[in-house]
Each structure stands twice: as structure tokens, then as C-alpha cells.
Chain A
């Protein structure tokens, strides 16, 4: 019995979000790809650069397994020789065991095993490189794709979904490439080799052994389908339970405040009981597959032992043949179950690949088509007959005309969630308008490159985005190759210099993953510093300052005022004082611009804005 390249492996699959309650892969429900052939073809294309290495690997797999398959046969010959010696001794002929012959056979065996081991090593070595390089370029390709996708893509998907495709799914592909393909190939080669050897030794015994095959297939299939059902049930119950735990812990203080702990525990116990029920059944069934397979294999073993023994007595076979045959028949079932396993794994890999390709197939932003480069912008912004909607059937902005003169301030007001960011989306060309045109200094913003446009516009949004890195790096984000002096000046202008100085490490203080080591208000100051550094001609900003302490808030106010000085600005306003100062107010509700004009005009008009204004004033006075 030799251990082929299919023994236990060290590389475990990292548990992904799908199914961390594992179980043997065979009993886990396989994900079915939508287009197996097409996706497989496409996946193979990625392997084309490694054609040469893969070809070598394939040849080596075949060689290593063929060599391994010969092992038991040679051992059988040795046994036969030993047995002959024993029989000869018993019958008194006195002929000794031919140790020269045995040594020769053992040397051959050693040579076979050494070369098989060497081939196996080279396979794994090559595949490690091939699979990692391939997923390396696949990951880069997806990332490159992300930079070309329109904002619509990001807004319509959860981060988790995109993340999981780039990490778990690609990871799945790499593991399969590295392990499963080799395993599948060697299982097939071994199976063919074993059958060939068995046939060569004794067609009759082979036939008897093959009789156990339908038995093992039937047993596997019937149990696997049952346990698959149970595992999916377990997965579903676990999903519910996890949801319940998330909800309970997420609303911990509310549940406590309302004295609801008991109800939540009762619900949990009920779900936990269901989980127990599904789980132990699933575990039980998956646990009996191995013993059953083992039993079937043992039946074959016993038959071969008994029948083989009789054959030896009848001088149809040599004792060594029987020994070799026993070893072959014991290995026989293994590749079959393994093939079944791997087909499942490969299916789920193809499904993973499909999800990755889905991203690669997303429609990209319309490419830039710059007719000119806009420099020294004065800051005149015009909306001319602009129409826009996120969804075809729900028109949002229709025929909008707005003219903003250089240096003017436009306030965008409206209830929360009314869609004030739509204007930002259009100005920055995150979304494309359907009709009409938006111009800056008379130039259609589609006639300049996006890069040019976004240099002109600066943005300070409410959801401050800082990345893990130093404060300096975060400010310097506003301008490529900014000097130390520029960074500090920007921080000073944004009233951020002072607090940065007090941080341990100053400008080199590292923000942690959630940037929770500085306060919300400080984050906003850094974002403002970033905008100062970028020095845009036109500003878009959100003045919301929730969760900010009063002192910082005053700083933010001052910093924003500084920033707006002399610049055309679009302000998502939360303060009536800002609104009253504005040269123009855009009132937005349910995503539409419903009113526009100055404060006085709108109050006089007595519409939505007037009411909004009064509701605030009614409390104030």
C-alpha cells in the first residue's frame, strides 16, 4: 500500500462566509453555476499564460501516479518469492529465498517511490506559483475594473457583496486551482491505473471487486442527498439564529430598557433547539458515510482474500498477486468518492468565478472625451434644461435651469433623505444627466475630462472619509506631491493644526481602522484641510455637523467660511443663517427640486420653504 498524492493535506480551506459549519464537502449542498461551460472556458483563458507549466504538471501527475500504481505489484512479486521459499522449505526441497531477486525488486521499488515523490513535489511547487500568480492578476483586474465602474454600481450594491466576491470567491478559485485540480487528475489516473493492474492480475477478481462499486455509489448517493437536505436546513436555521443574535446584541440597551430580555431568550432557545435538531442529524448522517464506505470496501477485501486464497490453492494466481490485489481493491473506492467530492468543489468554484466575472462584465463609465482643458476657472455654473433620474420610470429632475455667477453661494435645503446629494452627483459627474447640459464658464462638463472637472470642484462631505494611515497622508490626499509646508498651511487654514499638534505623533499620528482615535469633529477638520490643499475653484460642501462638540463646531464653521471665501459654492445647508445669506436656495423634497430663489423670494411665495422656515421660527420665538 503506498500513499499516493491524495493523503491528508495541510492547507485547509479558509472558512468563508458561506457555510462555516462545514462537514465533509461531499455532503454540503453544492452551488450550481449558471453557465458551467462558458465560465469554465473563460476561467481557462486566465491559465493560458501558464500553459507550459500546467502541461508539465499534467505529465508529472500522470507519471507519479503510474509509478505509485506499480508499487503494490512489485511488492506482490516479492511476497510471491518469499512464499515460494517458504513452500520450498516445507516441501523439503531446501531451495532458499532468492535475496538477489528481492534486492533487485526493492531497489526498483525505491527508485519508483523516489521519483514519484520528486514528481509530486514539482507538481505542487509549480501549481503553487501558477495559482497564486493567476489570482494575483485576477484580483488586480477586478480592482482595475472597480476604478472604471460608474457610481451607480457602488450605490446599488452592499460593500459586503463586492468584498466577498473579490476576497472569498477569488480565494476559492485559488484553492481549487492549487489542490482540487491536482487531486481530481490524480484520482482519475490512479483509478484507471488500478483497474488496469487489477485486470492484468485477474479479470475474475476484478469483476468481483467491481460488483461492490454500484453498492458504494448507491450508498453514497442516498446518504449524501439526505444529508445535503439536512445541511441546508441547518444552514437556514443557523442564519435565523445569527440574525436573532445580531438583533438582540445590536439593540441591547433598548431591550434592557423595555425589559424584554426574557422574550428574546425564549425565542433564542426555540431557534437553538431547532438548530440542534437539524445539526445532530446532519452530523450523524455525514458521520456514517465513512464507516459504510469502509464496510463496502471491507466486503471487497474479504471476497478478494477468500477467493484469492482459493485461486492460489488452485494455482490460478500467485500469493503476491493476491496481496497486490488486496491493496488495489482497498484503494479502489477512494478515488471514486474523491472524484465526487471534487466535482462538487469545482462546481462551487465555477459559481465563484461566475460572480467575479459578473463584476468584470459590468458596464463601465462612458470614457472621457475631452475636447479641451479648462483652466483658470472663474466659477460660473449653469444648469440648462437639465433632466435626470436614477430610474427610468421615476423622473426626478426635469428641465432644471439654474445660473450661478462666480463667487455666489447656493444653498441646498430640504428634509433628511430628500435627495440633496443628487446635485452633488451631477456636478461631479458621478452620474450622467439624461437631457440638457451643465456648463462651467460656458463649457459643457462632458467636454472636459473627469479629472479636469474634479480638479475644479472640491468636496467636503458629511461622511468624512479617512483611510488608515497618518494624518499627513490623509491631508496630502488632496494634492499629489504636496509639500510639508503646504500640508501644514492647509491644516492651519482648516483650524486643524492645533489639535493635530496635541496628538501623540502630531502629523505622523496613525489613524486606526475606524479612525476612532480622533473625534468626529476632528475628522471633519482634516477633511476640510484636505479641501484647502486641493484648492478647488468651486466648492461642494455639506454643513451637517452632528456628533460634534460645540468648540470644534465653531472651528468647523470658521474653517468652512474661510474655504468658501471668493469661491462659487454649493452648500447642503443645515443652518438658517447660511440659508439666509445664500444667493440662491434650491429646495429639494423627495428627490426633486421643488422651489428655487432667494430667502426673501421663497418666504414671500409661501410654499414648502416658507413652511420649513416658519416651523423653525415658531419654536425660536
Chain B
């Protein structure tokens, strides 16, 4: 929590000024009962109307001053807390941007989004509340305490009994209810899980005639949730009546003992009235603080999640002494590359060596988990190799500036990612391209036809995640985006399998022409896709099981033959 104070530092003056103003406001608030006591004890007793009016005007001025202080405090605290939230949000976003995939995967997309948006908002809200109410409550509490003791120290002994009592009640309910609230959250999650499963699996449930069963499953979880909710709410039913009873009995006690002290002449009536008002302020402050205690754990959880992100140090950095070749030609060489994902025991790639030249196509085939995608990720330096090295044009990629390296690569991921914006913006993707170049890329990716069928053509807007396009269409735009880059190196990660046979063949034919001078790496599932590659790398459990051309591998490599036979019937192959 303290670690976040660093981000609050630029607003130190705002915070101090706002706290001071809140203090002023508290003082003014506390001064009012004192003035009232004067009206009663001096004004009324002496029947001095002029005095009463003078004091009345003074009270108005004090109240006005307090209000102005409060408004200024609100202005300063809003700027400080929201500014703090803004800076924190920006730094997290930038910091995440510096992550390599290793750090990114550690958190996961959904979690990082929550941390950047929701958690920061939670912290910001807590800061606003903290600067306003929570700061005010102790000030008011302590101030009322001092005023009460000042008015009548002996009478304030009553508080010694009742205040611990109040704190005890709050603490008891807090202790008892927190585990129940946690249980409720779990039960809500369970109910949501069942619901989600029901929505997603609706066809299967209907197909197996299990609606009734699912209904019962839901009702059971629902009952469970309801029973715990009733339990915690019954417990919390104590809170309000118990606390107000304590407060009210405090006042009764003060009236009684105060009466005795007035009888003895050691207290005045106006002071007793003021005393009661101070006690009320004190009790309210205590309750405000107890509320803050309830809010605190949530903000604390958010803060630790945010800090966890900020303290994660990205593994991959720009080289300290980069080599800057004039131009990247595109020869890729893997030398004994072994790679282990952070935190996993087994390497996914073991002693991989191969060479891919410009003008050639290298296909990578193998089962899931064999490490195909990992090879591409390593070339782009999303991760760094555990041992061995990857060279481009003979230079270790760890010595190349990241921007330069990635600029030379045209990449089509397995899972299509499109961004909100127009079709053209998605193909151009930051590059300064002429419209004809965009159209040419679309043509190669066999996307021209459906783009021109869209209402706005190249200016059609793609919604977030590309929901208004079919899977195949999205895949083709993703291919067009890579092709438009006119790179020296192309990495295609299993991007053709989402296309139907016909389009797949057309796209590959067109790309072949376009990439004839570049180094091309294709990860594939379909044998048909890899058959005419210049070299095929067969991966099995992270090792190269075979490397060579189709005919040769079919004869010599058992793994390759298995894959081929599982996909094509014997007759088709021969």
C-alpha cells in the first residue's frame, strides 16, 4: 500500500492543503455548539437579545467559513485523487506494454485488463473517500473528544465506558460477518458458473435431455446461496439497532450525570447541550471509521494486484550495444536452441537447429504442444531462448534493436486479432501505405471480394474483435495486414486451416508469388499445406523428428508418415 504513495507524491501539496482545509472545516463544525452554549448560558440567562444576535451572526460566519473550506478541500482532493488514478493507470499501461509474452502470460489478458481498469478505479475511489470522509472522521472524532473533555472532563468519563462498547460491537459483527460474506461470494460464483455452463452448453443439455437435472443443480446452488445470505443478513440486522442503542444510552447517561453536575453548579445547561452534540459527532466519526475498515480490505486487494504488475520486471530489454545492420536480408538460423517457458520444468524446444534462406519456404508440422508456435515466438523475441542462439543474417537477435527486428517480419498469428477501425486501417496498421498497396494486399489475401461486398468497402468499420466478420474473413484480413508490410521474413502461424480448401489454395498460390524473395516459415496442421515446402520440419515433443522434403520425409520419417496417413487416404497420396 505504501508503495503506491510514490504516485501520490506529485500531489503532496494538494493533499496537505486539502487535509488542512478539512481540519478547518472540522474546527468550524465543532465551534458551533460552543457558540450555541454561549447563547444559552449567557444570552438567555441574561436576557440579552443583542448578544444572542451577535453570536448568531458569528455562528453564520463560522458555518460559512467551514463550508468554503469544505468546497476548496473537495476541489483539491478530487484533483489529487483523480490525478493520482490517472498517473497510476498510465504507468501500468506503459509498463504492461514493456512486458514480453512471458510476463504477459503470467497474468493473463483478462486479469491485466481488470488490474489496469477496475483495480485502479477502486484505488482511486478509495483515495477520494479517504481524503474526504476518512480523513474527516478522525479529525472530527479527536476534535469532539477534546471539546467534550474541555467542556467537562469528569462527565466525559461516561465515554470511557460506552466508546469501547461501541467498538466492541462493530468488531464482533465484523469478525463474524467477513467469513460469511466471503462464503457468499463463493456461492455466487458457483451459481454464475452453473448458469454460464447452461448458456454455453445449451445444445448438449437439450440433446441429452438433461434440462431437468440442470434445473435441479441450479436450484440446489441457489438454495445454498439464499441460506447463507439469510444468515449473514440476520446477523447484520443487529448492527443498526445495537449501535444506536449504545449511542442513545450514552446520551441518557450524560443527561443524568450532567444533571447532577448542574445541580452542583459545576456545569452549565448550555454546555451540557453542547456536550451532547460533541458526543454525537464523536459517535458518528467512530461509525464512519468502522465503515472505512470494511472498505479497506477491498482497496488493499486492488492495491496489491496493481503493485504486483508494476513490480514485474520485463525480461526482454533492448540490447545495450545494439548492432544496426543497414538492411536485413532474412536468413534465419537456429543454433542448438533450447527453450523453457518460465515456471515450467520441461523445455518445450530441445536443441533445435535449422537454417531458412531468403526465397525458401520452411514448413513446421507436428502435434499440439510440440512447440511449433514457440519457434515463431522466439524469432520475434516474444521470449528469449534458454540456451543456444537464433541468428538473423548471422547476427544474434538479442543484439538487434527490437523495432528493427520486428519491422523485418510479417506475422500472421494463429488466433486472429483485428482492431476497431476501418478495414483499410486494419490492413495498413500504422504503415504509411497508398490505397493501391492496401488493395493489392487484400487481393493477395483473397479478401478483395468480400471487402467490396461490404457496405463501405475499405472504409467499412470493423467492430471490436471483428464481430461483424466471419472467421475466414477475419483470417484473410490478418493475412493481408502481414502481406502489406512487404517484409523480408514471413511467419504464418497455422493461419490457413480456418479457410476452406478452396480459399486456402488460392491464398497460398497468391502469397507464394508475393513472397518469392522472402524467408517464409509456415506452421501448419494440414499436410496439404506443407507438402510443397522447400523444407519441412517435423516436431515431436520439442525435438526435430525429421527435416527435409515431402517425399524424402515420407520415406524416412515415421512421425511424418503417421501424420500424412491420418489425413489423406493411401489412394489419395499415391
Asked if A292 contacts B259 (CB within 8 A), the reply is: no
In whole angstroms, what is the CA distance A276 to B80 when docked? 11
Query: Which of chain B's residues 151-175 have a Cβ closer than 8 Å to chain A?
Result: 173
Given A102-B255, A415-B502, A619-B531, answer yes or no on A258-B222 (Cβ-Cβ < 8 Å).
no
What's the nearest-Cβ distance from chain B to residue A50, in Å?
A: 13
Name which of A4, A82, A552 has the most chain B CB atoms within 10 A of its CB: A82
Q: How many residues of B contact A (CB 8 A)?
A: 179
Q: Which of B79, B94, B117, B201 meets A467, CB within 8 Å?
A: B201
Q: Which of A5, A96, A144, A151 meets B203, CB within 8 Å?
A: A151
Asked if B214 contacts A612 (CB within 8 A), the reply is: no
In whole angstroms, what is the CA distance A580 to B568 when docked? 12
Q: Does B516 contact A (CB under 8 A)?
A: no
In whole angstroms, what is the CA distance A110 to B251 when docked? 10
Q: Does A269 contact B (CB under 8 A)?
A: yes
Name which of A163, A552, A611 has the most chain B CB atoms within 10 A of its CB: A163
Asked if A416 contacts B82 (CB within 8 A), the reply is: no
Asked if A554 contacts B566 (CB within 8 A), the reply is: yes
Q: Does B327 contact A (CB under 8 A)?
A: no
In whole angstroms, what is the CA distance A246 to B366 when docked? 32
Name which of B118, B283, B407, B567 has the most chain A CB atoms within 10 A of its CB: B567
In the bound complex, residues from chain A placing their C-beta under 8 Å from that of B243 are: 3, 7
Contact with B along A444-476 (1 / 0, CB 8 A): 000000110011011101000101100000000
Asked if B206 contacts A428 (CB within 8 A), the reply is: yes
In the bound complex, residues from chain A placing their C-beta under 8 Å from that of B429 are: 258, 260
Q: Does B198 contact A (CB under 8 A)?
A: yes
In the bound complex, residues from chain A placing their C-beta under 8 Å from that of B5 are: none
Asked if A313 contacts B47 (CB within 8 A), the reply is: yes
Q: Does B113 contact A (CB under 8 A)?
A: yes
Given A256-B380, A309-B43, answer yes or no on A477-B208 (Cβ-Cβ < 8 Å).
yes
Query: Which of chain A's residues 229-267 have a Cβ closer than 8 Å to chain B?
Result: 238, 241-243, 245-254, 256-261, 263-265
Asked if B244 contacts A276 (CB within 8 A), the reply is: no
In whole angstroms, what is the CA distance A65 to B113 when docked? 47
In whole angstroms, what is the CA distance A295 to B59 when docked? 11
Asked if A118 contacts B121 (CB within 8 A), the reply is: no
Asked if B471 contacts A417 (CB within 8 A), the reply is: yes
Q: Which of B83, B211, B248, B413 meets A276, CB within 8 Å?
A: B83
Q: Does B146 contact A (CB under 8 A)?
A: no
What's the nearest-Cβ distance from chain B to residue A9, in Å?
A: 7
Given A167-B188, A309-B52, answer yes or no on A611-B121 (Cβ-Cβ < 8 Å).
no
In the bound complex, residues from chain B placing their C-beta under 8 Å from that of A554 are: 562, 566
What's the nearest-Cβ distance from chain B to residue A343, in Å?
A: 22
In whole angstroms, what is the CA distance A123 to B366 when docked? 67
In whole angstroms, what is the CA distance A257 to B248 when docked? 68
In the bound complex, residues from chain A placing their C-beta under 8 Å from that of B406 are: 256-259
What's the nearest-Cβ distance from chain A to residue B293, in Å?
A: 10
Q: Does A283 contact B (CB under 8 A)?
A: yes
Q: Can you identify 5 A-B contacts, CB atoms within 8 angstroms?
A: A2-B247, A82-B262, A136-B222, A246-B464, A272-B89
Given A117-B242, A125-B237, answer yes or no on A159-B199 (Cβ-Cβ < 8 Å).
yes
Q: Does A33 contact B (CB under 8 A)?
A: no
Asked if A258 contacts B97 (CB within 8 A), the reply is: no
Contact with A along B498-529 (1 / 0, CB 8 A): 11111111101000000000000000010011
Asked if B78 contacts A284 (CB within 8 A), the reply is: yes
Q: Does B202 contact A (CB under 8 A)?
A: yes
Q: Which of B49, B56, B85, B200 meets A279, CB within 8 Å?
A: B85
Asked if A253 contacts B502 (CB within 8 A), the reply is: no
Asked if B40 contacts A319 (CB within 8 A), the reply is: yes
- Taking A106-B255, A417-B471, A549-B370 as known contacts, 15 extra A-B pairs with beta carbons closer than 8 A to each other, sorted by chain A number, are A8-B287, A10-B294, A132-B233, A162-B195, A162-B199, A163-B199, A248-B93, A254-B413, A256-B380, A288-B74, A299-B60, A305-B39, A414-B500, A415-B500, A430-B206
Stretch from B273-281, B348-356, B388-396, B434-442 that touches the partner: B273-281
* Chain B minimum-CB-distance residue to A466: B201
Q: How many residues of A contact B (CB 8 A)?
A: 167
What's the nearest-Cβ distance from chain B to residue A111, in Å?
A: 11
Q: Does B207 contact A (CB under 8 A)?
A: yes
Given A309-B52, A554-B566, answer yes or no on A10-B219 (Cβ-Cβ < 8 Å).
no
Q: Which of B113, B242, B260, B291 meets A245, CB within 8 Å?
A: B113
Asked if A294 contacts B193 (CB within 8 A), the reply is: no
Q: What's the A-B contact tally at a CB cutoff of 8 Å? A: 460
A-B pairs, top 8 by smallest CB distance, nearest first, are A549-B367, A306-B56, A128-B233, A287-B74, A291-B70, A124-B237, A415-B500, A251-B417
In the bound complex, residues from chain A placing their C-beta under 8 Å from that of B204 are: 459, 461, 465, 477
What's the nearest-Cβ distance from chain B to residue A472, in Å?
A: 15
In whole angstroms, what is the CA distance A582 to B335 when docked? 48
In whole angstroms, what is the CA distance A530 to B472 when docked? 31
Q: Which of B117, B210, B417, B505 meets A615, CB within 8 Å?
A: B505
Q: Does A207 contact B (CB under 8 A)?
A: no
Asked if B52 contacts A249 (CB within 8 A), the reply is: no
Q: Does B263 contact A (CB under 8 A)?
A: yes
Q: Does A193 contact B (CB under 8 A)?
A: no
* Chain B minimum-CB-distance residue to A455: B209
Q: Does A433 contact B (CB under 8 A)?
A: no
Q: Does A78 contact B (CB under 8 A)?
A: yes
In the bound complex, residues from chain A placing their C-beta under 8 Å from that of B407 are: 259
Asked if B500 contacts A3 (CB within 8 A), the reply is: no
Asked if A140 contacts B202 (CB within 8 A), the reply is: no
What's the nearest-Cβ distance from chain B to residue A504, in Å?
A: 16
Q: Does A268 contact B (CB under 8 A)?
A: yes
Asked if A548 contacts B45 (CB within 8 A), the reply is: no
Q: Does A85 contact B (CB under 8 A)?
A: yes
Asked if B93 contacts A159 (CB within 8 A), the reply is: no
In whole angstroms, what is the CA distance A312 to B49 when docked? 10
In the bound complex, residues from chain B placing their C-beta under 8 Å from that of A273 are: 86
Given A154-B199, A276-B86, A416-B471, answer yes or no on A241-B248 (Cβ-Cβ < 8 Å).
no
* Chain B minimum-CB-distance residue to A303: B56
* Chain B minimum-CB-distance residue to A114: B245
Q: Does B411 contact A (CB under 8 A)?
A: yes
In whole angstroms, what is the CA distance A9 to B291 when docked? 8
Stretch from A334-342, A369-377, A513-521, A560-568 that touches the partner: A513-521
Given A258-B430, A279-B85, A323-B273, answer yes or no on A128-B196 (Cβ-Cβ < 8 Å).
no
Q: Does B223 contact A (CB under 8 A)?
A: yes
Name which of B208, B413, B531 has the most chain A CB atoms within 10 A of its CB: B208
In the bound complex, residues from chain A placing their C-beta under 8 Å from that of B342 are: none
Contact with B along A101-134 (1 / 0, CB 8 A): 0110010011001101110110111001101110
In whole angstroms, what is the CA distance A87 to B308 when docked? 68
Asked if B240 contacts A477 (CB within 8 A), the reply is: no
In the bound complex, residues from chain A placing their C-beta under 8 Å from that of B563 are: 550
Q: Does A569 contact B (CB under 8 A)?
A: no
* Chain A minimum-CB-distance residue to B226: A136
